[in-house]
Structure 1
């Protein structure tokens, strides 16, 4: 029988093995937030020309459920076993991926995407705990940065990999997860550490359900507003339900011993600001990414592969800019870097609104805005994550990170819904261009608002009495 000491002490190679297994889970869950975008037109064609308002739930169901369950799933892992939670989540994600590949209509695909999202929510917070459990103290900051980087890598690779896989059929977008995930599960059973849980009480699952209902109601109202009319009773009822459920969620969070969003976190330096920034900036990001996919494939008639390659320069520039952002923080402060990121992203959207035409022109139209918006992402995301978590005590880092990730997913879902509401159903190429231009103007405005929110950020100095490398700024 192994003693507790033998479960914790592992040879140095195990850290790399644990990081490799965990990275697979994080990469797959992040990848599936973005990889499906470029497959939507092919999915629509395969399902008899399904409308965008219905297809949007293939994206939003995943983002909403993923967001709402992140923190409760993290607490479930903390109270029992993060190893079991991670492996269970990865197995559920693999099963959900296999089911998605068998979907016969939009409704079944949305249901199977929810199963994927449940698995992703279970594995993501547990993955960070496993990395920290396997890391020597002096390597914890580096390990956290690598953990964040693999999530960012999923966003960068998503459109390109999706474009390649769609060439073989859109179902391969999901099937590719199955063998990779199964190998990670098998290897993880052998090498992942199993630190003891805290045996705490159950998290606020009711609050999580209320959050799913609130965001789903808001997204439903936005998506159906154009079809039914913004004054239609169904749309107004959806918005009213969103307000009521949000209030109920706030009450639940205030009263529960383990809420989805701990009110105490919002009092930490910068945390509330960065949560708001995460929502607004990812509204803009979600709208930007979907608009690029829809424009290139539906208006310019490009293939999924060509679309993925066309989008790639934006994500690829993010890590390079993130390094520059770390240096800029020392000179002008985190708030100004985040503000510059939001404004730069907005400038990229204004570029598209002014330069893109119905006739395909990649260099003169799409490329410039993609690169400029990529610079904005590189300035904003790592800086905002660092600012939001740097004021948290070590024991709140995982929960705080999950809340910020939750805010990002909520923003992505709302961004998709806002874009669909703005685009409507144009009947001619000229009306289509006008609708997309309006969408890009709205996206630019939201990005600038996100930047202005971030301007008030002040990086707190770590307490001298309790230095901890995990609170160092995280960059991609």
Structure 2
């Protein structure tokens, strides 16, 4: 039986219960956010220890993004129906159990399967943490609570690569995953003891399990076809065709279901459609950049894992420091200029990364590129979120944010699968500094080109925000894998 709906959210941040709720949600969401950023730094060591091919490393990243992107919209609805605290705790425990499997994995295949399970847990706890804040805090405190949640989550995202590098060079890459277990052991009991349960079972007629399954299946088949395309086998062609067919079936199902996971009529807004196309371009380039750069710094430039993780800090640090101001600027001048200039700055930063080769100097070669890249991310991420929220009715803001977040993750998934193919990386390219450097020098212009396309789309399609549009509540953030999730105006409903 579903938990009863909470009559009125009335917890204040200043109370002990409010502080416990905030701590619980930050701990839970940080687990998923850390794993989105920290694993890239560990990839070379994972490859050596497990004798993994480049395709195995791609799947180590993509298996997690696949299930997270495919199920994150469904995860929010499950919490609404069966109890937000219950589903959140299940997600935390699930994520920790999958992390244990990752840490103990004896082979690349087991690690990939465990990473897919991690993504399922992430799809339950990430929207669940935001829904708990929405459903628990008094309306006067909710915006501040969401801001603190997103700010602390951004700190976690910034610390992730540094922490991952320290663990890889110290106790070993397995601790990148095992570290989630003590966090979960703290988080779950606090949630059960101090977080009030809430649900809204009457708001759902059913769950779009078929739609979620078809969406995830389509992404999985297309990803497999791209990663294995080097073989040129008939199986790859068949898989690609089946992936496209599953995508068509997903659209057909979503169009005809009475309560779809992703209502297609939301795309009747030209602004919403346009900004999601920009999102696809931007986050495809970001995912390819961070996946390849973590390898380039270690395989080619000779950095340790800790040095590589520390090297990537400027991008997220700049977002944490200036994302709120960027959002305020976009409210004054409109999103068109930031969404055009931001991708162009990021493209320039990626082209500057072409200076990074063997024995590259951090101050002379790496840092300037990352500062330009970070400036571009600061310029575009907050306005992108604001434009998503402004392009739909207020009641659908949470849904719009969830779709935009899932689109970004799906774009990253496809980019990590496709870039090695497009740049001619062989199965063992990451073992050879010369081979990987040559492919990296082909990849950065491709990523920059995708960003230029995104900038052109923004310039030609994005229009000024309405004066009374809803402003993002996640004003401070540092996640580089997807735009921040935003709550809806209805209690806790994300999807």
Q: TM-score if structure 1 supplies the norm length?
A: 0.91
Structure 1 residue 289: deviation in Å?
A: 0.5
TM-score in terms of structure 2 length: 0.88
Paired residue for 1:194? Answer: 197
1:109-148 alignment, distance < 5 Å: 109-148=111-150
- Deviation, structure 1 residue 93: 0.8
Deviation at 1:251, TM superposition (A): 0.6
In structure 2, what is the equivalent of residue 413 of structure 1? 413
Q: CA deviation at 1:318?
A: 1.5
Q: CA deviation at 1:347?
A: 0.4
Equivalent residues of 1:279, 1:411 under 8 A apart: yes
- Out of 182, 186, 190, the position equivalent to 2:185 is 182
What is the distance in 1 between the residues matched to 2:160 and 2:23? 19
Q: What's the C-alpha RMSD, in Å, of the aligned pairs?
A: 2.4
Report what 2:314 is aligned to: 313
User: How far is the alpha carbon of 1:80 from its aligned partner?
Assistant: 2.3
Tell me the distance in 2 between the aligned counterparts of 1:197 and 1:211: 25
Taking the aligned partners of 1:5 and 1:433, their CA distance within structure 2 comes to 56
Q: Deviations over 1:405-430 (max 9, x none)?
A: 11121122112112222241359755
Report the equivalent of 1:365.
365
Q: Is the 8 A contact 2:6 2:135 kept in 1?
A: no
Q: Shift of residue 254 of structure 1?
A: 0.7
Q: Measure, in 2, the Cα distance between the counterparts of 1:283 and 1:9.
A: 40
Q: Tell me if structure 1 keeps the 8 A contact 2:299–2:433.
A: no
CA drift of 1:195 comes to: 2.2
1:290 to partner: Cα distance: 1.3
User: Within 1, Cα distance between the matches of 2:297 and 2:224?
Assistant: 26
Which residue pairs with 2:330 in the alignment?
329
Which of 451, 460, 463 is residue 458 of structure 1 equivalent to?
A: 463
Counterpart of 1:36 (choices 34, 39, 50) is 39
Alpha-carbon distance change, 473 to 66 in structure 1, aligned in 2, over 3 angstroms: closer
Deviation sequence 1:110-156 (CA, Å, 0-9, x none): 11112211111011112211111222222333333333334433432
* Deviations 1:304-327 (CA, angstroms, capped at 9, x unpaired): 111111111222112233134224
After superposition, residues 60-459 of structure 1 pair within 5 angstroms as 60-167=62-169, 168-199=171-202, 200-225=204-229, 227-229=230-232, 232-268=233-269, 270-353=271-354, 355-421=355-421, 422-425=423-426, 430-455=434-459, 456-459=461-464
CA shift for structure 1 position 104:
0.7
Q: Equivalent residue of 1:36, what SS?
A: helix
Counterpart-to-counterpart distance in 2, 1:109 and 1:281: 28
Structure 2 distance, partners of 1:3, 1:77, is 12
- SS in structure 2 at match of 1:315: helix
Structure 2 distance, partners of 1:189, 1:395, is 30
Q: 1:390 Cα shift?
A: 2.9
Contact kept, 8 Å, 1:96 with 1:113, in 2: the verdict is yes
1:131 and 1:143 in contact (8 A); partners too: yes
Q: In the TM superposition, what is the alpha-carbon distance from 1:260 to its structure 2 partner?
A: 2.7
Is 1:253–1:261's contact at 8 Å kept on the other side of the alignment? yes
C-alpha change, 1:276 and 1:3, in structure 2 (3 Å) is closer
CA displacement, residues 332-372 of structure 1 (integer Å, 9 cap, x when unaligned): 3212101111111000111112x223332222222211111
Further displaced range: 175-184 or 237-246: 237-246
1:195 partner SS: coil
Q: Which runs of 5+ in 2 are unaligned?
A: 478-495
Residues matched between the structures, number: 466
The answer to whether the 8 A contact 1:141-1:470 is kept is: no
**Counterpart-to-counterpart distance in 1, 2:188 and 2:360:** 45
Does the C-alpha gap of structure 1 residues 346 and 192 become closer, same or farther in structure 2, counting only changes over 3 Å? same
Cα distance in 1 for partners of 2:255, 2:103 equals 40
CA offset digits 1:49-73 (Å, max 9, x no partner):
2111112111101001001101111
SS in 1 for 2:228: helix
Q: Secondary structure at the match of 1:270?
A: helix
> Structure 1 residues 164, 471: CA separation in 2 closer, same or farther (over 3 Å shift)?
closer
Report the counterpart of residue 483 of structure 2 in structure 1. none
Deviation at 1:459, TM superposition (A): 4.6
CA distance in 2, matches of 1:110, 1:451: 34
Cα distance 1:429–1:50, how it changes in 2: closer, same or farther (>3 A)? closer
The answer on whether the counterparts of 1:70 and 1:402 sit within 8 Å (CA) in structure 2 is: yes
